[in-house]
Structure 1
Amino acid sequence: MTLTLTWSQILAWRLRRQLVSAAGGADAVAVARRLCGVQAQVASSARLAVALRSAEPDPGGIDRALWTDRTLVKTWIMRGTLHLLPADELAAYCAAMSTLRFWEKGSWQRGHGVTADEIAAIVEAVPAALAKAAPGALGGEGSPGALGGDGALTREELVDAVVDVTGDAHLREALTSGWGALLKPLSRLGELCYGPPREGRVTFTSPRAWIPGWPAALPPHEEAGVRIARAFLGAHGPATPEMFDTWLFGGRARKAVLKGWFRDLAPELTEVETDDGRTLLAPTEHLNDLAATRPSDEVHLLPGFDQYILAAPRTLAALIPPPLKPKVSRQAGWISPVVVHEGRVAGVWETKSGEITLDLAAPVPQAPLDAAVTRMSALLRPGSGHA
Structure 2
Amino acid sequence: MKVTLAQVLAWRLRQQSLSPRTTASVEQLVGQLAGVQAQVASAAELALAIRQKEPHPRAVQEALVARSLVRTWAMRGTLHLLPADGAAAYLALLGAARTWEKPSWQRAFGLSPQQVSALGEAIDEILDGRVLTRQELIDAVLARPGLEGLGEQLASGWGTVLKPLAWTGRLCQGPPRGQNVTFTSPRSWVPGWRGVPDPDEAAPAVISAYLAAHGPATPATFDAWLLRGATRKAVLRGWFESLVRSEDVTALARIKPSQEVRLLAGFDQYVLGPGTSDTRLIAAARRTAVSRSGGWISPVVVHEGRVAGVWEFTEETVDVTLFAEHGAVPTAGLEAEAAQLARCTGSERRLVVRVG
Give the TM-score normalised by structure 2.
0.93
Which of 25, 48, 51 does residue 49 from structure 2 map onto? 51
Please state whether the residue corresponding to 1:166 is helix, strand or coil. Answer: coil
User: Residue in 2 aligned with 1:275?
Assistant: none
* Structure 2 spans left out of the alignment, 5+ residues: 349-356
Q: CA RMSD in A?
A: 1.7
**What is the deviation of 1:354?**
3.0
The answer to whether residue 99 in structure 2 is matched with residue 102 in structure 1 is yes
Please state whether the residue corresponding to 1:175 is helix, strand or coil. Answer: helix
Please state whether the residue corresponding to 2:307 is helix, strand or coil. Answer: strand
Q: Structure 1 369/190 Cα, relative in aligned 2: closer, same or farther at 3 Å?
A: same
The answer to whether residue 28 in structure 2 is matched with residue 66 in structure 1 is no
CA distance in 2, matches of 1:10, 1:254: 28
User: Residue in 2 aligned with 1:366?
Assistant: 331
Deviations 1:146-166 (A, max 9, x none): xxxxx2001111112112333
* Structure 1 spans left out of the alignment, 5+ residues: 135-150, 269-282
User: Residue in 2 aligned with 1:146?
Assistant: none
Q: Does the aligned pair in 2 maintain the 1:45–1:304 contact within 8 Å?
A: yes
Which of 257, 260, 268 does residue 298 from structure 1 map onto? 260
Deviations 1:73-130 (A, max 9, x none): 0000001000001000011111111101111122212211334443332222111211
Q: Which amino acid aligns with 1:4?
A: K
Runs of 4+ deviating beyond 6 Å = none
Q: Which amino acid aligns with 1:372?
A: E
Q: Does the aligned pair in 1 maintain the 2:57–2:345 contact within 8 Å?
A: no
Matched pairs, number: 346
* Identical columns (%): 50
Which of 82, 90, 93 does residue 93 from structure 1 map onto? 90
Deviations 1:301-327 (A, max 9, x none): 001000000001322222111222110
Of 164-173 and 226-235, the range deviating more from structure 2: 164-173
User: Residue in 2 aligned with 1:124?
Assistant: 121
Q: Does the aligned pair in 2 maintain the 1:121–1:166 contact within 8 Å?
A: no
User: Residue in 2 aligned with 1:342?
Assistant: 304
Of 217-226 and 330-339, the range deviating more from structure 2: 217-226
User: Residue in 1 aligned with 2:19?
Assistant: 21
The answer to whether residue 109 in structure 2 is matched with residue 112 in structure 1 is yes
Give the TM-score normalised by structure 1.
0.86
Q: Which amino acid aligns with 1:91?
A: A
The answer to whether residue 120 in structure 2 is matched with residue 158 in structure 1 is no
CA distance in 1, matches of 2:70, 2:18: 23
Of 315-324 and 305-314, the range deviating more from structure 2: 315-324
CA distance in 1, matches of 2:347, 2:322: 26
User: Residue in 1 aligned with 2:225?
Assistant: 247
Q: Does the aligned pair in 2 maintain the 1:48–1:303 contact within 8 Å?
A: yes
CA distance in 1, matches of 2:192, 2:316: 43
CA distance in 2, matches of 1:78, 1:29: 18
Q: Which amino acid aligns with 1:244?
A: F
Q: Structure 1 116/51 Cα, relative in aligned 2: closer, same or farther at 3 Å?
A: same
User: Residue in 1 aligned with 2:354?
Assistant: none
Which of 255, 278, 293 does residue 316 from structure 1 map onto? 278
The answer to whether residue 332 in structure 2 is matched with residue 375 in structure 1 is no
**What is the deviation of 1:25?**
4.3
Q: Does the aligned pair in 1 maintain the 2:290–2:299 contact within 8 Å?
A: yes
Please state whether the residue corresponding to 2:226 is helix, strand or coil. Answer: helix
The structure having more radius of gyration, on CA atoms, is 1
Which of 179, 190, 193 does residue 200 from structure 1 map onto? 179
**What is the deviation of 1:49?**
0.7
